[in-house]
Amino acid sequence: MQHSKKKKVAGILYLQNIQDNRWTKPPPMRILRSLNAAKHLIFVTTHWDLANPERGRQREAQIRNRLQWFLNAGARTKRFDITTDSPWKIVESLIT
């Protein structure tokens, strides 16, 4: 990632352990709607290195289904894995 004084990182990252059945509560829809902010929201799934691949894909589908309103409004999902590139790709997607 190149550093530039003209670029800003603007966004919200919500982290969700892909193995966890508990749900990280997303922000209230009315706030995002009023700020037109969903496009700056990324739901990041974590702990892929510990997950059974098939179970992880199932959980990811459940998460995406639950987040459909946010995704339709412009939010995105990303996977965080244990590579050094993974966090940078996520942050770079927020650079404006």
- pLDDT tens digits, one per residue of 23-63: 767 666 666 665 677 888 899 999 999 999 999 999 999 99
Residue 3 has pLDDT above 60, yes or no: no
- Confidence label for 1 from pLDDT (cuts 50, 70 and 90): very low
With 0.75 as the threshold, say if the pTM is over it: yes
Encoding tokens for residue 76?
């995105």
pLDDT of residue 50: 93
Q: Taking a C-beta distance cutoff of 8 angstroms, is the pair 96, 10 a contact?
A: yes
Please compute Rg for the chain using Cα positions. 14
Percent of the chain's residues with pLDDT above 90: 38
